[in-house]
C-alpha cells in the first residue's frame, strides 16, 4: 500500500465519524440533507459503495470501518440532540431556518464539482429535481399527517432514510411534510430520557419503541434500497442523476422561508387529526401549533442574511476535508 493510500485508510474512520456526526445532526432538522454532509466530508461515494457491498454480503475491512464510524456517530448525535434540536426549531424558528438555508446552499458547489462540466443531461436533471422540491414546498407541512399507524411510521422511516442518502433532500423536511417530524423526535427523546432515568423508565422506553421500531425498519429498507439504486444510476446515468441531485439541493430551500412563527390554535383547527375545541385547546403542545408567516423587522432580515452566509461558510469549510474525494 503506497503512502497516499495508507494515509487515506488511516483517516477514513475519522472522516466517517465526522461525517456521521454531521449527518445525524442534519437529519434532525428540516432543510439540510445528511447526504450533503457526507459529500462535504468526502466520504459519500465510498459510503454508497460500502452499503451496496454489505447488502450483497461482500465484506471488506475498509467498508466496515467506514460504515461503523458513520452509523455509530450518526446514531449518537440523533440520540443526544433530538430533544434540544426540536426545542430550538420550535422556539427560534427564523434563526434556525436561516442557518439551515445557508448550510443547504453550501452543498451546491460540492455537488457541482461532481456534476461538471455542464451538459444537457445535468441541466434537465437539475430542472426535474427543482420541480420536485417546488411541488413539495407547495403542500402544507403536516398535511399528510396520519393518526400514528405503523404503516405510516414505516413509510416515514423509508422516506427519511432515502433523504439521508440523497444529497439535497432533507429527511427532517420530508418528515415535516408528512406530519411525523415532531412525533419521531419526541420518541427518540423519550427513549433517551427513559434510559437515563435513575431507575430505567420501562413504560416510557417501550412507548417510544412503538414509534422507533417501525421507523427503524423503514430506515434500514430505505438505506439499502436507495443506496443500491443510486449506485447503479451513478454508474450508468451519471450526469442526469447528479443533475437531479443538484436541483434537489437548490429546491430544498423553497420550503424554508424563515420568517414564520407558531400561532395559538383556535377552535375549529385540526392538529394531528384532532379538532381543536374550547375545552381541549390548552392540551396541545407548542410544538404542534400551526405556523404563519410574519413581516420581519429590518434587524431580523439582516440577521437572517448573516446566518445564511455563516451556514454556507460552515458547509464550505467542512467540504475542504473531502476536496480530493469529490473531484470527478
- 273 — pLDDT class (breaks 50, 70, 90): low
**Mean pLDDT of the 245-250 span:** 78
* 142 has a pLDDT exceeding 90: no
If we measure between CA atoms, which residue out of 223, 239, 237 comes closest to residue 48?
223
Residue 237: the pLDDT is 86
Q: Which residues contact 107 (CB under 8 A, 6 or more apart)?
A: 33, 36, 39, 40, 167, 168, 249, 315
- Stronger pLDDT, 294 or 242, i.e. the higher one: 294
The string over 60-85, giving b where at least 16 C-beta atoms fall within 10 Å of a residue's C-beta and e elsewhere, is eeebeebbebbbbbbeebbeebbbeb
pTM for the model stands at 0.67
Residue 326: the pLDDT is 42
User: How many residues does the structure list for the chain?
Assistant: 328
* 260 has a pLDDT exceeding 50: yes
* 301 has a pLDDT exceeding 90: yes
Reported as a single tens digit per residue, the pLDDT across 70-115 is 989 998 998 888 888 878 877 888 998 898 788 778 777 867 877 7
**Mean pLDDT of the 27-44 span:** 73
With a pLDDT cut of 90, the percent of the chain lying above it is 10
Report the 3 state secondary structure along 107-118. Answer: CHHHHHHHHCCC
Reported as a single tens digit per residue, the pLDDT across 148-192 is 577 888 888 887 777 677 766 667 767 876 778 778 888 888 898
* 255 has a pLDDT exceeding 80: no
d(CA 90, CA 217): 28
* 308 has a pLDDT exceeding 90: yes
- 4 — pLDDT class (breaks 50, 70, 90): very low
Question: How is the chain split into domains, by residue range?
Answer: 81-259+295-315
Residue 63: the pLDDT is 87
Q: Which three cell numbers stand for residue 237?
A: 446515468
d(CA 54, CA 128): 31
Amino acid at each position: 500500500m503506497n503512502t497516499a493510500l495508507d494515509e487515506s485508510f488511516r483517516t477514513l474512520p475519522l472522516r466517517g465519524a465526522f461525517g456521521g456526526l454531521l449527518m445525524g445532526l442534519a437529519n434532525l432538522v428540516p432543510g439540510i440533507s445528511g447526504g450533503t454532509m457526507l459529500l462535504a466530508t468526502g466520504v459519500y461515494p465510498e459510503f454508497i459503495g460500502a452499503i451496496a457491498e454489505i447488502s450483497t454480503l461482500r465484506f471488506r475491512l475498509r467498508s466496515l470501518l467506514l460504515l461503523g464510524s458513520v452509523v455509530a456517530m450518526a446514531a449518537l448525535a440523533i440520540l443526544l440532540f433530538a430533544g434540544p434540536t426540536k426545542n430550538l426549531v420550535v422556539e427560534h424558528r427564523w434563526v434556525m431556518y436561516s442557518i439551515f438555508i445557508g448550510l443547504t446552499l453550501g452543498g451546491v458547489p460540492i455537488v457541482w464539482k461532481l456534476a461538471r462540466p455542464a451538459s444537457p443531461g445535468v441541466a434537465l436533471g437539475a430542472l426535474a429535481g427543482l420541480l420536485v422540491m417546488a411541488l413539495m414546498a407547495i403542500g402544507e407541512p403536516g398535511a399528510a399527517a396520519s393518526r400514528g399507524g405503523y404503516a405510516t411510521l414505516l413509510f416515514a422511516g423509508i422516506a427519511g432514510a432515502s433523504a439521508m442518502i440523497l444529497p439535497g433532500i432533507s429527511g427532517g423536511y420530508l418528515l415535516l411534510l408528512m406530519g411525523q417530524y415532531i412525533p419521531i423526535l419526541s420518541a427518540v427523546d423519550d427513549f433517551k430520557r427513559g434510559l437515563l432515568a435513575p431507575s430505567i423508565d420501562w413504560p416510557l422506553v417501550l412507548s417510544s419503541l412503538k414509534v422507533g421500531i417501525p421507523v427503524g425498519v423503514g430506515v434500514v429498507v430505505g438505506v439499502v434500497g436507495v443506496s443500491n439504486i443510486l449506485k447503479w444510476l451513478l454508474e450508468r446515468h451519471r450526469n442526469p442523476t447528479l443533475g437531479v441531485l443538484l436541483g434537489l439541493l437548490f429546491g430544498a430551500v423553497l420550503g424554508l422561508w424563515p420568517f414564520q412563527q407558531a400561532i395559538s390554535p383556535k377552535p375549529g383547527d385540526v392538529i394531528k387529526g384532532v379538532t381543536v375545541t374550547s375545552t381541549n385547546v390548552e392540551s396541545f403542545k407548542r410544538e404542534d401549533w400551526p405556523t404563519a408567516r410574519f413581516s420581519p423587522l429590518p434587524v431580523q432580515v439582516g440577521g437572517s442574511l448573516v446566518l445564511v452566509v455563516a451556514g454556507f461558510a460552515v458547509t464550505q469549510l467542512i467540504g475542504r476535508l473531502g476536496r480530493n474525494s469529490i473531484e470527478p
